[in-house]
Structure 1
C-alpha cells in the first residue's frame, strides 16, 4: 500500500465525517428529532423547541462550542463519576499521544525515512514501509533515537497515569462521602440460604442474623420469583400507559384518532390515572389473595443493617463452616439490581463462569474467519491468485486502492457489530446480580476480544498470508521469529485504515445516532407514534471504553515502529473529546453509578500496552543487531512493572473496598444529626420488587439489555428527573372501559 492509497482512504473517511457532521448540526435543530438528540435534556424538562427559522436549516458548530465550554463539574453533575472517568480516559489519551506524536514524528520518522533498506520513489507513490522501522538498516547507529522515544513515551505515560489514578481515587472517595443516604451502603445480598423443612427462608434469615449479628441487624427482605399474574399485570400496565397517552392526544385533536379495525373514536377509552403507590397496593392485595402459590421464594434476600460499617464488615466474613452457604456481598444500588440473576442458585455460578468463558473463547475462534478474509483482501496479489475475475478491476488504480485499502477495515467493522450484543448476553448468563457488573464483565470480554482479533490475529494472519511460501520450506522455519518481529510494521497499512474507518467514521455515526434516528423516523412516519414513545438510553460504556483502549493499544505498540499512525490517532481522540462530551450533555442519562470502577481496567490496559510496546521494541532491536538499545530497554520493562505494582498497592484497594474511617465518620454524623430513623424508613422501600421492576416481567426478567437499547422499560418522561418511574395507570379502569361498537 502506498501513500496515494492511504490518502484515498483518508479522503473517503473525511468526506463521510464532514457530511455526517453537517447533517447532525441540521437534524438536531428539527423538532421531530428532539427525542433522538436531546433525550437527557427532555427527561428533565429543560429542552425548548425553537420556532421555525432559517437558522434551523444551516449547519453550525454551536454544539462543539457547548461541549468545549462544559466544565468537569458540569459533567459530574450531569453524568456522574462514571462519565467523568470516561472523559478522563480521552484526556489522558490526548495528552500522551500528543507527546508521542511530537516525539516520533520529529525524531523517529525522519530516521525511518532516511533508511536505505527499501528504495525510494516519488513521494506520492512511496510505500508505507518506507516510513516504518523496517527501512532502518541493521546495526544502524540511529536506533538510539527509537530507544530515546521509548523512554519519553513510557515516562510520560507513567507520570500521567499516576496523577490520573490519584485524582480519580479522590473523586471516588468524595463520591462515597457525598451520598450519605445511599441504601446500598447499609444493605447486603445473602445467597445460598440453607433450606429447612421446619421454617421458611424468611424465618431462617431472621433467626440467623438475629443470633449472630443481633446488635447490627435491622431487617431483611426476601427475593421472590414472581408468577405469571404479575407478568400479565406488568404488560397490562404498559398498555395502559400507551392508551392513556393516546387518550390525552385525542383530547387535543378530537376525531383524528380512530380504532384501527372498527373506526370508533379514541375517546371510547376512559382511563383513570392513579398514583404508582395505589397500583403497588392493589398488586400487593392480589398477591396476598393468590398466596405464595403464585410466588416462589428464592434462596436470596436483602439484609439491612443499622450502620454502614456493620454492613461492610459482615460482607467480608464467612458466616458458615461451609463457604457455599450464607454467602454475602454488598448490595448494588436499587436501580442497579439485576433481578433475574438473583434467582440463580449460588452453586451454579462457578459452572456458569466456566461455561461463559468457554463460550467467549469459542466465539473468538469462530471470528478468525472474517479476520482471515479481511487480511486476504489487503493483499492484491493474493486476491488475484485466489479470485482471478478480480484481476481486471484490481489493475485499475482507484478500484485497487479502494478494495485493498478501505474495504477491508469496513468489512471488519461490520463484523464487529455482532460482538457487543453477544458478549452482553454471555455476561448476563454469567450470573452478575448488578447491571453495572454485567456491563463491566462485557467490557472486559469485548476489550480482550478486540485486542486479540484486531491486533494479534491480524498481525499473525497477515504475516502468514504474506509469507506463506516461507512456511513451505523447512530451512526457512528458523527465520520465523524474524518474520513475526517485523509483522507489526508490515501491517501498518491495515492499522492506519482501521483507525480511519473504525475511528473517525464510527465517531461520526455515534454523533448521528443512526439507529435511534431510524427508529424515531419509523415510529413517527410509519406507525404515527408520538415523541413520548421513545425513552432515553444510558451510556454504552461496555462498547466505547474498549474502543478507546484498543486505539490506545495500537498507538503505543506502533508508536516507534509506525510513527505515521500517531497523527491519525490524535485526530481521533480530539474528535472523541467533543463528540462524547456532547452525547453526555444531551443524549444519555445516568440510571446507576459504578463509582469509577472502570478506571482500574483502563490503568491495567495502558500498562499492558506499554509493556507490549517495550517487548516488541526489544525484539526489533535484537533483529536490527543493536545491543545497546536492547540493553537500555530491559530496565524500562522492569520499571513499568514495578510502577504498576506500586499503583495496585496505593490506589486499587480503594476501588475494591470501602474505607472504614470514612464509613464510621458518616455513621457518627448521621447519629449526631438524628437521621438514623429517616435512613431506616428509606431502606425498607429502597429495594422494592414491584410488578414494574419484577424480574419475571417482560422488562427486567428477560436477558434483553434494556439500558442499552432504544426501548428502555424504565421510561423517563419529559419533566421528570432521570430514574423517576412514570405514573402507573389503573388496570381495572381499562377493562371497565366501554367496548367500541
Structure 2
C-alpha cells in the first residue's frame, strides 16, 4: 500500500514537472526579473558615467600606451563623449586602434543585430496577433499534452498565447511563410557581410604592414618525416613535391633539451621572490618570511629557511644553467617542424594553397603565423604524443559535460519548483506568493550564468591538450567547441530535461498496459516529439529572462565592475604586489573566440524561437544592438588584439550560423508535422536545402578568396622576384625557438622601497614606477613611443578623440609586455633603458638593406635615423616602436656622458636622446648580432 502511494506521488511529480507553468508564475517571474534587471542596469550605467571621467587607466587603458605628443592637451574624457563617438566612428577608426579582427567581429555583431531585427519586427507585428487571437484569453484550460498531439491540459500561461503552440488550421501557414522569408533574408545578409569581410581580409593581406612582415612570406612545415634530419634534405623534399616554387631559405627546427623547463622554473622563482621582497619591504625590513624548501614540502619536520635567501640562491643557479644551455655549441637533435621562406607574400600563399591540395606524405604545409602566435610546447610534440593528448582532451571534455549537467538540473528543478506542491504543503501554500515567482524567475538564469562563467577558462585549458600548434588554430577549435558545448548544455539539455522524465512515464505506461512492442515504440516516438515541441514553447518565458540577463552582463562589462572591485579590494584590503596591479591595469586582450561562441548561443535562441515565439527574437535583437554599442566602445578604448589574424574566425562562425538557420527550419517542420501531418511538414524542407546550397557556395567560392591572398593584378616579374640576399639569419631571428632568446623575468619592487631593496637582494630589479603608474605622469623620455597621429584642427577634436591615433597593431602587444621589461639594468641605475635592433642594417620586418633605413608607415622595423639630421628632423623620424632587450643584459655602464661621446659616424652614434652601444663580450644574447640603445644619462649639475 505504502509502495503504491509512493509510486503514485512520484508519477504525479513527473507529470506536474512536465506542465508546471501557471499564469501568475510566468507573468510574475518575467515581470519581476525585468524590473530587477532594469534597476541593476541603470545603477551600473550610473557607476560607469561616474567613474569613467576620473579613471582613464581603467576605462581607457590604451591611452597609456600613446606618447604625450600624440595626446596633446586632450587628457580629459567627458562622461557623454563616448556616446557620440560610438555613432561617429567609422571602420578606419577601429582598424587603426584594434585591427582587422575587431572590425570583422563588429561586422558579425552588426549582421546579427540587423538580421534579428529584420525578422523580429514583421513576425511580432503579424504572427503574434495571429497566435493571440486564435485562442481566447478567457479560456482557462488548454488541452493537455498527450502522446498524440502534444497539447497541454491545464496550462494557464498567457505568454503561450503568443506562440505557435495553440495555433491550428490555415493560420499555421503564416509561420511557414515567414520561415521562408526569414531564411532568404538571413542568407542575403550573410552574403553581403561575407563579401565585405573578404574585402577587409584582402586589404589586410595587401597592407604595408602585412606585406613588409617576414612571417607573411614564410611557410610552417609540421609532421616532418623522421628521415629528414637536415635543412638540405628538407629543401629537397619540398622541391620534389612541387618544383614550381623557389624557396629563399629552408630551416629545420632543433631540440632545446631542458631549456623550456629551466625558463619555466626561473619565472616561478622570480614571482615567489617578488612576493617575499614585497612583504619584507612593506614591513620596513622587520618581517622576513620563512619557507620550507620545495624538496622538503612533504616532511612535517622540514627545516624552515629565509625565503629571500633561498629564492636568491635558486635564481642564481637557474640563471647559470640557462646561460650554459644557451651557449652550448653542440649539435641538438632535429625536430619534426621547420620553416621555409619565399620571395613574396603572393607566392607564399600560392604555395601554401598548392601544398594543401597535394598533401605530401613527408610533411604538412601551412602559412606561418606570427612567431609570438606559435605554441612551441605543442609544436615539438611527436605524432604519438599528440594523439594521446587528444584522447585525454576528449575524456576531459566528456567529464566537463557530465559535471555541467549538475547546475542545469538544479536550475530546471528551481524553475519547476511547483511540481513538488503535491508532496509538500509548504510549496503548495508558497507557490501563489510574489516571493515564489521571484525565486523561480530570477534564480534559474543566475544558476545557469554562474556555471557558464568558469567554462571558458576550463575549455581553454583543455584545448591545449589537443596538441594545437598555434593560437590561431586554438581559437578556431575553441570557437566551434565552446559553441557546441553551450548549445548542447545550455540550450538542448536544459530544454529537454523534462522530456527524459516524460520518456520514463511513457515506458512505464506501456509496460503497465501490456502494449505490443511495435505499438509502444510508435507511441513513444510520437509522444517524445510532441513533448519536445511543447517543452520549447513552455521555456519561452525562461529564455526571455536569460536574454535580459545577457544584456545586463554587457552593461556590467562596459562599467568594468569586476576590475573596479578588484582594484578597490587590492588597494585597501587585500595584499598585492606591483605586478598584480600592473597586470590588471594594462589593456586586456579581447577573447574573440569566447565572444563569438556566446553570441552564437544568443543567436541560436533568437533564430530557433523566431517562428515559434517571435517575442524571444525581439529580445535577442535588442541585446545585439546593445552589444554593438558596448563592444565598439571596448574595442576602441579598452581591449586590444593579442594576435592579429585578419578575421580568420569569420568562416567558422558563418558555418555555425548556417547550421542554426537550418535548425530553425527543422524545428518548424517538426511543429507543423505534429500540429497538422507529416506530409505537410515537407513544405518546411526547401529552406533547409537553400541553406545547404548556400553553405557549399561559401565553401567553394567565397572561402578561397577569404583564406588566400588574391590580388587583382600581379606582374610576372613580381611573381618571379627573388630576394637579393640570404634569408638565413632573418628566418633564424623570426622563427628560431624563443627559448633561445626569451627574456629572463625580473622582480618588480615598489618605487618607494628602491633605496631599501639593496639590503635584501643584490640582483637586477624593476621599479614599479615604470609598471603601475599611469604613463601620462611619467617623463616623456621613459615612454614607449608608438606611431600616432592626431588631427590638429581644434574644431574637429573633442575630449574623446584623444585615442584617434594610428597605432601599429602588432606593436601594441609588444608595448604592453615591454612596459614591465624595458626598465632598469640594476637596482642602482633605474633610469637606463635598453632598446634592441638589427645590427646588419637588414630591417627585421622588410627587405631594406640601406644602412640608415628609416622606419616608415610601411615598415615596423627599427633602424635609427641619420644622426646628421637636425634635432627636429630627427624627432620626426623617430621609429614607431622600440623593441626592448628581450635577449640582452648589458653591463652596468653609467659612465657615459654627452660630452664624452664621439661625433656622429664614429664608434658611438648619437640618435636624438639615445646612444648606440656596440655589443660587448658580456652581452648575453643569442648568436645573432643586434644594435642596442640606451638613453643618455643626465649630466651632473
Give TM-score scaled by structure 1 length: 0.80
* Contact residue 98 and residue 635 of structure 2 kept, 8 A: yes
Corresponding residue of 2:560: 513
Instruction: Tell me the CA shift for residue 567 of structure 1.
Output: 2.5
Shift of 1:185: 2.3
1:487 equivalent in alignment to 2:517: no
Equivalent in the alignment of 2:188: 159
- Say which of 220, 235, 240 aligns to 1:189: 220
Deviation at 1:630, TM superposition (A): 3.5
Q: Are the equivalent residues in 1 in contact too, given 2:248–2:727 (CA < 8 A)? A: no
The partner residue of 2:407 within 363, 370, 373 is: 370
Aligned to 2:158: 127
- Which residue of 1 is the match for residue 718 of structure 2? 668
Q: 1-side partners of 2:187 and 2:274: how far apart?
A: 54
Q: Which residue number in structure 2 is paired with residue 91 of structure 1?
A: 110
Deviation at 1:74, TM superposition (A): 0.9
1:16-27 equivalences under 5 Å are 16-27=40-51
Distance 2:419 2:714 in 1: 68
Deviations 1:224-257 (A, max 9, x none): 432555446666888999999x9xxxxxxxx999
Matched, 1:524 2:562: no
- Name 1:585's counterpart in structure 2: 636
Contact kept? 1:384, 1:390, Cα under 8 Å: yes
Q: How do 1:539-554 residues align onto structure 2 when only pairs under 5 Å count?
A: 539-554=590-605
Q: CA deviation at 1:583?
A: 0.5
Q: Check 1:208–1:292 CA distance in 2 against 1; reply closer, same or farther (3 A cut).
A: farther
Q: Is the 8 A contact 1:143 1:626 kept in 2?
A: no
CA contact (8 A) 1:120 1:126 kept: no
Contact 2:503/2:528 (8 A) holds in 1? no
Q: Is the 8 A contact 1:237 1:730 kept in 2?
A: no
In the TM superposition, residue 557 of structure 1 has moved relative to its aligned partner by 0.7
What's 2:58 paired with?
36
Deviations 1:568-614 (A, max 9, x none): 21221111011111100111112221222221122222211111111
Map of 1:643-722 to 2, 5 A cutoff? 643-659=694-710, 668=718, 671=721, 683-691=731-739, 694=742, 718=775, 719-720=783-784, 721-722=811-812
Are the counterparts in 2 of residues 368 and 453 from structure 1 also a CA contact under 8 Å? yes
Determine the C-alpha separation between the residues in 1 that align with 2:530 and 2:221: 55
Once residues 438 and 667 of structure 1 are traced to their aligned partners in structure 2, the CA distance between those partners, rounded to angstroms, is 38
Report the aligned-residue RMSD.
4.3
Supply the distance in 1 between the matched residues of 2:99 and 2:697 (Cα, whole angstroms): 28
Q: 2:179, 2:611 within 8 Å by CA — same for their partners in 1?
A: yes
Indicate the structure whose relative CO is greater, using CA pairs within 8 Å and at least 6 residues apart.
1
1:637-681: CA deviation from partner (whole Å, max 9, x where unpaired): 22222222222222012334444x67965981895xx98659887
Residue deviations 1:155-178 (CA, integer Å, cap 9, x gap)? 111110111111111211111111
- Counterparts of 2:286 and 2:480 in 1: how far apart (Å)? 48
Q: Secondary structure at the match of 2:212?
A: coil
- Structure 2 residue 378 is the aligned partner of structure 1 residue 330: no
1:84 Cα deviation after fit: 1.0
2:90 corresponds to 1:71: yes
Q: Are residues 1:437 and 2:473 paired?
A: yes
Whether the 8 Å CA contact 1:237–1:729 is kept in 2: the answer is no
Residue by residue, what CA displacement relative to the aligned partner does 1:601-637 show, whole Å, maximum 9, x if unpaired? 2222221111111111112112221789635423222
- Given the alignment of the two structures, is residue 408 of structure 1 paired with residue 437 of structure 2, yes or no? no
Tell me which of 394, 399, 402 is aligned to 1:357. 394
Give 1:94 shift.
1.4
Tell whether the 8 Å contact from 1:420 to 1:446 is kept in structure 2 after alignment. Answer: yes
Establish whether residue 630 from structure 1 lines up as the match of residue 681 from structure 2.
yes
Question: Post-superposition shift, 1:76?
Answer: 1.5
Q: Is the 8 A contact 1:181 1:679 kept in 2?
A: no
Alpha-carbon distance in structure 2 between the residues aligned to 1:480 and 1:37: 51
TM-score by length of 2: 0.64
Confirm or deny: 8 A CA contact 1:109 1:563 kept in the other structure.
yes
Seen in structure 2, the aligned counterparts of structure 1 residues 162 and 107 have a Cα distance that, compared at 3 Å, is same
Q: Which has the larger radius of gyration?
A: 2
SS at match of 1:486: helix
> 1: distance between equivalents of 2:533 and 2:717?
58
* Pair 587,385 (structure 1): closer, same or farther in 2 beyond 3 Å: farther
Higher helix share: 1
Structure 2 residue 66 is matched with structure 1 residue 15: no
Partner in structure 2 of residue 339 of structure 1: 376
Indicate how the Cα distance of structure 1 residues 571 and 386 shifts in structure 2: closer, same or farther if over 3 A, else same: farther
Match of 1:596 in 2: 647
Match of 1:497 among 545, 548, 551: 545
For residues 360 and 223 of structure 2, the distance between their equivalents in structure 1, rounded to whole angstroms, comes to: 10
C-alpha contact 1:532 1:717 (8 A) present in aligned 2? no
1:56-100 Cα offsets, whole Å, 9 max, x none, are: 8xxx44332222221111112222111111111111111111112
What secondary structure does 2:621 align onto? helix
Distance 1:493 1:466 in 2: 21
- Please give the alpha-carbon distance, in whole angstroms, between the structure 1 residues aligned to 2:423 and 2:658: 41
Q: Shift of the alpha carbon at 1:728?
A: 4.2
The answer for unaligned runs of 5 or more in structure 1 is 247-254, 264-280, 700-713
Equivalent residues of 1:312, 1:330 under 8 A apart: yes
Partners of 1:645 and 1:453 in 2: how far apart? 29
- The separation in 2 between residues aligned to 1:128 and 1:20, in whole angstroms, is 29
Q: Is 1:174 aligned to 2:203, yes or no?
A: yes
Distance 1:208 1:414 in 2: 53
Matched-pair contact (CA < 8 Å) for 2:418–2:431: no
Q: Does the CA-based 8 Å contact 1:670-1:676 persist in structure 2? A: no
Task: Name the SS for the 2:647 alignment partner.
Answer: coil
Does the aligned pair in 1 maintain the 2:217–2:345 contact within 8 Å? Answer: yes
8 Å CA contact 1:216–1:307 kept in 2: the answer is no
Q: Secondary structure at the match of 2:211?
A: coil
- Unaligned stretches of 5+ residues in structure 2: 1-24, 142-155, 290-318, 511-519, 748-770, 776-782, 785-810, 829-888, 893-941
CA-to-partner distance for each residue in 1:275-306, whole Å, 9 max, x for gaps? xxxxxx9999754544559x876433333333
Shift in Å, 1:371: 1.7
Alignment of 1:226-237 (within 5 A): 226-231=259-264
Q: 1:146 corresponds to which residue? A: 175
Which of 97, 100, 103 is the aligned partner of 2:119? 100
Deviations 1:687-715 (A, max 9, x none): 3544597499999xxxxxxxxxxxxxx99
Match of 1:23, SS state, is helix
Determine helix, strand or coil for the equivalent of 2:220: strand
499, 502, 505: which is aligned to 1:463?
499
Tell me, in whole angstroms, the C-alpha distance in 1 between the residues paired with 2:670 and 2:746. Answer: 55
Size of the alignment, in residue pairs? 679
Cα separation, 2, equivalents of 1:733 and 1:207 = 52
- Contact 1:219/1:305 (<8 A) preserved: no
